[in-house]
Chain A
Amino acid sequence: MKILVPVKRVASLDDEFELRDDGRDVDPDFCEFDLNEFDEYALEAAVQIKEAAPEGSVEVVVLTIGPDDADDVLRKALAKGADRAIRVDDAGLEEADRVAIARVIAKVAENEEPGLVLCGAQSADQGNAQTGMSVAALLGWTRAAVVSKLDFAPGAATAQVERELEGGLVECLDVETPAVLTIQLGINTPRYASLRSIKQANAKPIECLTPHDVGLSDAEIGAAGALSRVRRVFVPERGRGEIIAGTPSQQAARLLEIISEVNG
């Protein structure tokens, strides 16, 4: 059985950043990129299922849709226990929203026929919380979101999962498989990659495909497959509090004053 783990390369912004000329995104020159934190947990959950199963019976496949720079996050995932990595190039996907990205992931899932797809609950940068559950909808598979515990033996007809809801309330449920689950932070403790596994990961091939290669038609790719369009990105005019300047000692002294002013 395969477990497919779609992973995203997410951006965090530098202290000072600029928008792209068309005003519809941040200029990527001002971004730092890393593997989405939620995906570290999804990957670990997949690797733990593999390790609990008879050797060689489960293959963990990681997938990202992005430019060749995104190979970094695949290598990181390979170093942390994924067996195979696929990257679908984002050429032609400029106008893709989360649903259009999900169309690519769903096609790869159709081709790979995994027993489970584990996505992150959301991306740390944009927080859409759409992609994973869109993949499930497109495949017509069972779905559950924000999973904080997962028990699944490969081949079983159901998985036992817990969903973490508002206020920390937990729902325990049985979910039919194959299923697409989105994984919440804290479900496990993601492992560190050893130097040896990093070296091995760097030597592994990454399968590079285009959206057409995986079987998408033009009517599904990019804007054609999207349900939304970014019109404009802007830095809002927002109130900012009073910035307390000075040395750490002066700042702490002022903070103690504020504490006694407020607490009376």
Chain B
Amino acid sequence: MSGILILAEHRRGTLRDATLEAIGAAGTLKAALGGPVTVLVIAADPAPLAKAVSVGAVDEVITVARPDAATYEPHVYEAVLRSVIAQRSPALVLMPHGVDSFSLAPAVAIGEGLGFATDVFGVAVEDGQVVATRAGYNEKVFVEIDFPGRTGVLLTLRGGSFAPETAPASPAVSAIDAGDGTARSKHLDWRDPPATGGIDIPGSPFILSIGRGVGDEANVAQFLELADGLGATLGCSRPIADNGWLPKARQVGQSGQLAAKCNLYIAMGISGSVQHQWGMKHVENIVAINKDPEASIFTIARYGIVGDMLEIAEELRKQKGIH
């Protein structure tokens, strides 16, 4: 029972950055947990991906080539990963807390009897035992989790919480056959998000975003005018896009856009869920306006206003002469 096993996450032939973060996390835990650090790549053609994960503290890459793994399929992945875990008995199994792992991690943890926690952003080893930290109550508290009686632990890691590892390394690469498992779902197609219609969240230096605090569809138009008058791009949280109040191209967050070039982000009536933060928490100047003084958005903001977004918006319009 030793070592760390990481499952590589990839999509449409490209390794996802979150895998490099998991490798980074493993690098910091290797001394305490013992090696080796192993990355498992399951794909129709694993070779290019095996190269991409040959970084940092990785000692070994295991590849499993299967035609039924041309796209992620949870039942196929489950069979392969469980058989590798059964052979290697790693002390810790890591994977990104991505949408794909939602349908994989629980089956693997239950099937192999592993300790299990998801969306983890802190990992410590105390007396040889893994302790994980995650958030609770919409990010308002932190929760420390341990795994009594478990010899192996599976954690899914929150994106952006561990420094990605990119320094090239030369691990041993071994190709194996693993796991029976048959697909029970069939990939039909990909559909890219709809065209943005000129709305450029990723390229915008100044974004004013509204969340559910806006209250009503009738209030949305005035924020388009306000953003315009201030020279900002209007963004939004997911519920606003889900309601059809603004187009999806304005949605900031994990299943929307990354505010990649943003320098000033004003969040109005947004609580600060992890998925929204994913798209904006890196921004240097965040201003949060929220009527709940405990909203987690304040913990990442440089400036905060505890108050009613509609009142503040009205004042901004008045003082700026926006009609």
Chains A and B bind each other: yes
Once bound together, how far apart are the Cα atoms of A174 and B71, in whole Å?
13
A244, B146: Cβ atoms closer than 8 Å: no
Contacts of A176 in B (CB 8 A): 184-185
Once bound together, how far apart are the Cα atoms of A208 and B206, in whole Å?
53
- Interface size of B by CB at 8 A reads 96
Contacts of B193 in A (CB 8 A): 167-170
B304, A128: Cβ atoms closer than 8 Å: no
Once bound together, how far apart are the Cα atoms of A255 and B117, in whole Å?
40
* Given A133-B102, A142-B75, residue A256 in contact with residue B319 (CB < 8 A): yes
Contacts of B214 in A (CB 8 A): none
- A234 in complex: contacting residue of B144, B273, B312, CB < 8 Å: B144
Closest to B132 in A: A228
A172, B191: Cβ atoms closer than 8 Å: yes
- B137 in complex: contacting residue of A125, A168, A243, A252, CB < 8 Å: A125
Q: Which of B102-134 contact A (CB under 8 A)?
A: 102-107, 109-111, 113-119, 131
Closest to B231 in A: A263
Scoring B residues 84 to 118 as 1 if CB is less than 8 Å from chain A, else 0, what string do you get? 00000000000001111011111101110111111
* Given A130-B106, A133-B102, A259-B230, residue A231 in contact with residue B187 (CB < 8 A): no
Closest to A185 in B: B242
Smallest CB–CB gap between B281 and chain A, Å? 12
Smallest CB–CB gap between A207 and chain B, Å? 27
Smallest CB–CB gap between A6 and chain B, Å? 14
Smallest CB–CB gap between B251 and chain A, Å? 7
- Which of B184, B307, B311 has the largest number of chain A CB atoms within 10 A? B184
Count how many pairs of residues, one from A and one from B, have CB atoms less than 8 Å apart in the complex: 250
A238, B299: Cβ atoms closer than 8 Å: yes
Smallest CB–CB gap between B72 and chain A, Å? 8
A146, B99: Cβ atoms closer than 8 Å: yes
A156 contacts B by Cβ under 8 Å: no
Closest to B191 in A: A170
B276 contacts A by Cβ under 8 Å: no
* Given A185-B238, A251-B315, residue A244 in contact with residue B305 (CB < 8 A): yes
Q: Which of A158-172 contact B (CB under 8 A)?
A: 160, 162-172
Contacts of B186 in A (CB 8 A): 173-174
B51 contacts A by Cβ under 8 Å: no
Contacts of B216 in A (CB 8 A): none
A174, B185: Cβ atoms closer than 8 Å: yes
* Given A26-B137, A241-B301, residue A15 in contact with residue B293 (CB < 8 A): yes
Smallest CB–CB gap between B308 and chain A, Å? 7
B312, A252: Cβ atoms closer than 8 Å: yes
Smallest CB–CB gap between A158 and chain B, Å? 8
A228, B117: Cβ atoms closer than 8 Å: yes
Q: Which of B184-206 contact A (CB under 8 A)?
A: 184-193, 205-206
B319, A252: Cβ atoms closer than 8 Å: yes
B115, A227: Cβ atoms closer than 8 Å: yes
Once bound together, how far apart are the Cα atoms of A242 and B248, in whole Å?
32
A203 contacts B by Cβ under 8 Å: no
* Given A231-B131, A251-B305, A253-B319, residue A99 in contact with residue B190 (CB < 8 A): no
B52 contacts A by Cβ under 8 Å: no
18 contacts between A and B (CB under 8 A): A12-B138, A13-B137, A26-B137, A127-B138, A129-B118, A137-B107, A143-B103, A144-B74, A166-B255, A171-B71, A171-B187, A172-B191, A227-B109, A235-B140, A252-B318, A255-B303, A258-B287, A262-B285
Residues of A whose CB lies within 8 Å of any CB of B are 11-13, 15-17, 19, 26, 97, 99, 102, 121, 124-130, 133-134, 136-138, 142-146, 160, 162-176, 182, 185-186, 227-236, 238-244, 248-249, 251-253, 255-256, 258-259, 262-263
Residues of B whose CB lies within 8 Å of any CB of A are 11, 16, 71, 74-75, 78, 97-100, 102-107, 109-111, 113-119, 131, 135-138, 140-148, 150, 184-193, 205-206, 230-231, 238-239, 241-243, 248, 251, 254-257, 263-264, 266, 273-274, 285-288, 292-294, 298-299, 301-308, 311-312, 314-316, 318-320
Q: A15-B293, A170-B193, A259-B206 are in contact. List 13 more A-B contacts (CB 8 A).
A: A127-B273, A144-B185, A145-B102, A168-B256, A170-B191, A172-B187, A173-B185, A227-B150, A240-B304, A241-B298, A242-B304, A243-B306, A248-B308
